[in-house]
Structure 1
Amino acid sequence: MSTVASESAFSQGRQQLGDNRHSLGSNAMNVLVCLRDWIRAERRNQGMEPEPSDELKLEEIMTSRENSAESSPMHGFAPVNFDYPMQVPININMNELEKMMHNLLIFHSFLILSIYAGKSIRDPKYAPVMGTVFHQLLYFNRLYDYQTEVAKKTTTFRLLAPEQSEIYTTDSRNIEHILKTNFGKYSKGKRNQEIFMDLFGEGIFAVDGEKWKQQRKLASFEFSARVLRDFSCTVFRKGAAKLVSKVFEFSVANQVFDMQELLMRCSLYSIFKVGFGVDLNCLDGSGGGDSEFIKAFDDSNELTYWRYVDPFWKLKRYFNIGSEFLLKKNIKFISEFVDELIKTRRKQLEMKQDFTDKEDILSRFLVESKKDPEKMTDQYLRDIILNFMLAGKDSTANTLSWFFYVLCKNPLIQVKIVEEIRKVIGNNLKDNGSVDDFVISITEEVLEKMHYLHATLTETLRLYPAVPVDGRCADAYDVLPDGFHISKGDGVYYLSYAMGRMPYIWGNDAEDFRPERWLKGGIFQPESPFKFIAFHAGPRICLGKDFAYRQMKILSMALLHFFRFKLSDDTKEVTYRTMFTLHINDGLLVHAVPRRGLVGNYKFE
């Protein structure tokens, strides 16, 4: 069994640590003293009056730490509640504070490792300890690859945290166990909800129990409605036509452009139209506030995810500094944007008499809110909208971005998809029509015949899942199918990104991009959702899976029919941003080359 170090190494570590425990407590105190002095100095520098109430709270915390440090078995690591809303300017110098926090972090990591890691050596039922959650902070910019490297050594492992342990797994048996077989024993958990709450509130991704059941039931009904499916396909086709026209402008000018940015805008256009009945100009170059909203939402996504590896995020939120200052600022902008959206849509509906045939999802939720206005408040609707956006905007746009990236790296796959398009849709094409004529010809029947395209999109999701890490929290003691024990309160996470790279799951060519692995006799063959976990599984499986495939197929068919794509710099390494969803870092810069004999015959409007 894999272990972090030998028994003797940890024995020595404990002995060394015994001499340093009091210095750990003083490091924690130094952080608080430093913060207090900075607050005072910054207020003086900016001509601000001291706020005794805030300083009194800080003094109380310091006093409580001094008192609790003596009695705490961790000597200086007694928990502190940082729930006071304090306003502190963002432009303070953080260098010394960061150094102090870094030293504290190293000591803290060594402490919990030395105490607990030896347990995995002695207890075969205790998942191997491969570090602490703070190790993820050190590898944050390549977090999912770091997790993959660890998972290749042991399919289930444990990272230690100050208040709990976190178990990570790529074993499909374990995943089926927590997401389906023992679904009732697992929930989002308090820690996840604390991290999510500021941005996503009580939306479907952040809640459990009755609130989840109510939203799931309502969303399930809406997604199964024929009127919504037909309406969404119309919107997807219109968005595809707009996207082709925009790419044509770049192509004619021989101009490099950011494909991910365009796909994000197209996805935002679709999600706002399907979700909220609102037309955005985000594909027409006149986005304005829409561009600010995209940036605020994406940055908030990343800053919220940062909380998972930042042991001091509550401290920062308490003092309203650093990443938490930026997050709060972005959330305020997002909330105001969405609140205005809800008010506008509500007014539009009040001017109409017929509430029975509303196409967009927000309108249908607004109609539903009339039945229970106390429960379905504007704040509740705001949370639903942002969760719906996270699922709809990021998943399709990110997947298509990685899709076009791998197609640029594998031009023969581009050729195969174009050949399939011509074979399936060729007889329905006009020799001299518009782009609209082409996208209209992409019918439901056509989409179902695009097996190679479906396989290529699925292969993209295997290696670049929209949500690279997800998981649950144990509400009771449990035993996983691989034999490892789970304590109440432990987080259990499945590594979607790492799973796609596991040879024991996909074979020795697991890291190769090969759409053919999904085909048998040219027909797409799905895998178990607990092996291919890109759309979650069990009772919480993604309701929008078919919508996502439908949109991705329509957009990719339209773009590949008219253009051949290549990277602007084939030597540049493409990496991801570490956040809830798998963004390409710094965008995807490409050239679009018109396909001979096609673009010249089509009208771009």
Structure 2
Amino acid sequence: MYILGVVVSFGVFCIKEYAWRAHDRPPLVGTVFRMLKNFDEHVEYALAHRTSRILFLGHSELWTSDPEVIEHILKTSFSKYSKGDFNTQIMKDLFGDGIFATDGKKWRHQRKLASHEFSTRVLRDFSSAVFRINAAKLAEKISSAADNRTTVDMQDLLMKTTMDSIFKVGFGFELNTLSGSDEMSIQFSEAFDEANFLVFHRYVDIFWKLKRFLDIGSEAKLKRKIEIIDNFVMQLIHQKREQIKNGRDSKAREDILTRFILASEEDPETMNNRYLRDIVLNFLIAGKDTTASTLSWFFYMLCENPIVQDKVALDINESLEGAEEDNNIENFTARLNEGAIENMHYLHAAITETLRLYPAVPVDGKIADEDDILPNGHRVIKGDGVNYMIYAMGRMTYLWGVDAEEFRPERWLVNGVFQQENPYKLGPFTAGPRVCLGKEFAYRKMKITAATLVHFFRFKLEDESKEPLYKVMFTLHMDRGLHLYAYPRSA
């Protein structure tokens, strides 16, 4: 009866909306069943209408590629839009009350804490040191594959090294997923990725609540994955509290968890272990998947554009005096300080161009908390979802010109110097009051890793005839990995 009721209710809603088609509402282009077919379908939406609408269970979802509309949602009328109960219910089991899944007082509290922590020199220096160490470990692993003339799954390696880096910065513990030496760490990492995938697909599974209630199918699997995640993270929080209590943490105040635990002493009721779990796990979700998937697409684009790959290598050499003669991995990474990577304008442009075409977060959005009128005149009804199509926007000629689908880092450079774009036009780091606090952090991680690998290796696709596929989830993962050959650049 429950299933029949849901189907009938959705059918009646669709008939009413298709029959009515109010002239001041965005054009109606389909239903939820088209929503997550693939992100290239979003390109079709954006080409047909800069703002359109699809039908969900009991409400409409608006889709836009219009920078003015996006600025309106994220900044001008920020108070009218929130994550909303619809998104929160879907995300809460994994994201909890973390910064990416909450609004209001909890969001403001975490935003204030995180803003302070990300601005500290201690965290910046500590994270940079961690990024350099793990970039060197990754280069050594790829060097071994190059010597043996075997392929590497670059995405898998990048996911592991990024997980190790973010975990060290976030929790202060070595995870060692790249080395594969810790079975529990590997189990946690796999559960983390699978949970991300399963939670995202709640958006198109109209029966997910029933499945969760009955503990069957994908919801039963998600429950098991979240138990693995929670047990692992809670154990680390307890260990960290014990280290701080007993004065055994010689690197006090460096990792994010330690800094939040110390802050929790002022408000222990609010900042309990569950709240700490949510805060740091959200940081992990944001930092790991986004940078690793961006770097995966970056190396794919370098393989597709070997001239760009050589230009990136030249940019690195010109930014570091004597880099061409430096064949020692540890010595090289030690020199990748803040000043050096800031001078790598072409590398920065190539990473940004990757984000334009393959954004780490391909779509994002809010829920309308009240009726509103968009800058284009379309009416928004309280309860509507309003989504901006970041993946599609990077391919729009009306935003980027006739060469919108070309990979051309030079579009970001003026006289060799990187130039920022309108953040409402390029959206992977969002904008407005909820702009990503970790943007500089992410670029630093990506540039250190990319500079190390491109300096020492040339990369080539294992099969140049294959087009890459992506998984439809919160972040733009490649499906089936990225299999490359690495060749010593000095050879």
Give the deviation of 1:114 after TM superposition: 2.6
- Name 1:212's counterpart in structure 2: 107
- Name 1:115's counterpart in structure 2: 16
* Letter aligned with residue 554 of structure 1: I
When residues 357 and 343 of structure 1 are mapped into structure 2, their CA distance, relative to the original with a 3 A threshold, is: closer
- Name 1:233's counterpart in structure 2: 128
- Name 1:503's counterpart in structure 2: 397
Give the deviation of 1:286 after TM superposition: 1.3
Other structure's SS at 1:426 match: coil
Q: Tell me, which stretches of 5 or more residues in structure 2 are unaligned?
A: none
Alpha-carbon distance in 1 for matches of 2:124, 2:319: 22
Give the deviation of 1:426 after TM superposition: 3.3
Verify: 1:132 aligned to 2:31, yes or no. yes
Give the deviation of 1:134 after TM superposition: 2.2
Alpha-carbon distance in 2 for matches of 1:318, 1:110: 24
Asked if 2 retains the 8 angstrom alpha-carbon contact of 1:134 and 1:309, the reply is yes
Say what the alpha-carbon RMSD is for the aligned residues: 1.7
Asked if 1 retains the 8 angstrom alpha-carbon contact of 2:243 and 2:249, the reply is no
Match of 1:302 among 186, 189, 197: 197
- Name 1:312's counterpart in structure 2: 207
Asked if 1 retains the 8 angstrom alpha-carbon contact of 2:10 and 2:58, the reply is no
**1:135-192 Cα deviation digits (max 9, x unpaired):** 226x2xxx21111111110010111122111111110001000100000111101110
Alpha-carbon distance in 1 for matches of 2:382, 2:11: 24
Taking only the aligned residue pairs, the percentage that are identical comes to 52
When residues 542 and 127 of structure 1 are mapped into structure 2, their CA distance, relative to the original with a 3 A threshold, is: same
**1:26-71 Cα deviation digits (max 9, x unpaired):** xx56x5xxxxxxxxxxxxxxxxxxxxxxxxxxxxxxxxxxxxxxxx
Alpha-carbon distance in 1 for matches of 2:94, 2:185: 18
Higher mean C-alpha displacement, 460-469 vs 348-357? 348-357
Alpha-carbon distance in 1 for matches of 2:185, 2:401: 44
Asked if 2 retains the 8 angstrom alpha-carbon contact of 1:576 and 1:582, the reply is yes
- Name 1:581's counterpart in structure 2: 475
Verify: 1:332 aligned to 2:227, yes or no. yes
- Name 1:561's counterpart in structure 2: 455
Give the deviation of 1:284 after TM superposition: 2.1
Q: Normalized against structure 1, the TM-score is what?
A: 0.79
Alpha-carbon distance in 2 for matches of 1:433, 1:135: 51
Alpha-carbon distance in 2 for matches of 1:485, 1:284: 53
* Letter aligned with residue 561 of structure 1: H
Residue pairs, 1:154-553, within 5 angstroms: 154-352=49-247, 358-427=253-322, 429=323, 431=325, 434-553=328-447
**1:432-491 Cα deviation digits (max 9, x unpaired):** 663111011112111111111000000000111111111111111100001100011111
When residues 567 and 227 of structure 1 are mapped into structure 2, their CA distance, relative to the original with a 3 A threshold, is: same
Give the deviation of 1:421 after TM superposition: 1.2
Asked if 1 retains the 8 angstrom alpha-carbon contact of 2:396 and 2:404, the reply is yes
**1:178-226 Cα deviation digits (max 9, x unpaired):** 1000001111011100001111100000100010000000000000001
Alpha-carbon distance in 2 for matches of 1:470, 1:504: 21
Higher mean C-alpha displacement, 233-242 vs 345-354? 345-354
Alpha-carbon distance in 2 for matches of 1:316, 1:397: 32
* Letter aligned with residue 18 of structure 2: A
Alpha-carbon distance in 2 for matches of 1:330, 1:354: 30
* Letter aligned with residue 364 of structure 2: D
Q: Tell me, which stretches of 5 or more residues in structure 1 are unaligned?
A: 1-27, 32-75, 80-103, 598-605
When residues 432 and 556 of structure 1 are mapped into structure 2, their CA distance, relative to the original with a 3 A threshold, is: closer
When residues 557 and 515 of structure 1 are mapped into structure 2, their CA distance, relative to the original with a 3 A threshold, is: same
**1:365-392 Cα deviation digits (max 9, x unpaired):** 0101111111101000111121001111
Other structure's SS at 1:473 match: strand
* Letter aligned with residue 167 of structure 1: L
Other structure's SS at 1:572 match: coil
Other structure's SS at 1:159 match: strand
Other structure's SS at 2:474 match: coil
When residues 368 and 356 of structure 1 are mapped into structure 2, their CA distance, relative to the original with a 3 A threshold, is: farther
Residue pairs, 1:136-151, within 5 angstroms: 136=35, 139=37, 143-151=38-46
**1:402-445 Cα deviation digits (max 9, x unpaired):** 00011111111110011111111133x48466311101111211
Asked if 2 retains the 8 angstrom alpha-carbon contact of 1:119 and 1:126, the reply is no
- Name 1:87's counterpart in structure 2: none
Other structure's SS at 1:472 match: strand
- Name 1:51's counterpart in structure 2: none
Alpha-carbon distance in 1 for matches of 2:186, 2:489: 31
Alpha-carbon distance in 2 for matches of 1:354, 1:246: 30
Alpha-carbon distance in 1 for matches of 2:235, 2:248: 22
Count of residues in Structure 1 that have an aligned counterpart in Structure 2? 491
**1:215-247 Cα deviation digits (max 9, x unpaired):** 000000000001110111111111111111011
